[in-house]
Amino acid sequence: MAMSKGMKIGCGVGVGLIIVAIIFISSIVGMYNNLVTLDEQVTQSWSQVENQYQRRTDLIPNLVSTVKGVAEFEKETFTQVTEARSRVNQINVSSDMLNNPQAFQKFQAAQDNLGSALSRLLVTVEKYPELKANENFLQLQKQLEGTENRISVERRKFNQSVQGYNTTIRRFPANIVANFSGFNEKQYFKAVEGSDIAPKVEF
């Protein structure tokens, strides 16, 4: 029996709606997968920042010990570095803090404070030229300088990843998918005065 004109139109509309639904679902899936990829890139960049900060933290005990052997009277400076390092180690570091402005600011403040204390230590030891001949100190100095440079590089890469992610979750229609899927804005490292300059470690 021949299909009526109305049935043909109905079938055509039904097929059209199915195609539109498939395209819509595919678009949603594509946006979601893109958000997952960007989120993972931020997490990976964060881990690189963590690695470099941890490397700096690990260098400090040997640096303090070496300097203390020569500059034994600089107790206040050593105390400041040790206390700043202790505060850094007390922070429970995880990628979850990227979604928590207060936790992230606390982490950054602790790291900036440690960097400042370390800078003061390195300025203090300029009064002790005998350290220039200390091979252990020279090696630590070189490692520290490299680490500070890598921290700066990794923080910049991290901020670029966060910028890409944050921009995407704010754009329409990805923002709708982000809101429903729990993709929240990530925190940036914010520059403080002098933070773009690594501590001077040349003597």
Model confidence pLDDT, tens digit, residues 3-36: 566 676 767 677 777 887 788 888 888 899 999 9
CATH assignment of 45-89+99-203, among 1.10.3720.10, 3.30.2350.10, 3.40.50.740, 1.20.1440.20: 1.20.1440.20
CA distances from 27 to 20, 22, 32, 149 (A): 10, 8, 9, 41
The structural domains of the chain, with segments of one domain joined by +, span 45-89+99-203
Residue 33 to residue 26: CA distance in whole angstroms: 10
Tell if the pTM clears 0.85, that is, is over it: no
Q: For 70-107, give one letter per residue: b (16+ CB within 10 A) or e.
A: ebeebeebbebbeebbebbeeeebeeebbeeeebbeeb
Residue with more model confidence, 197 or 113: 113
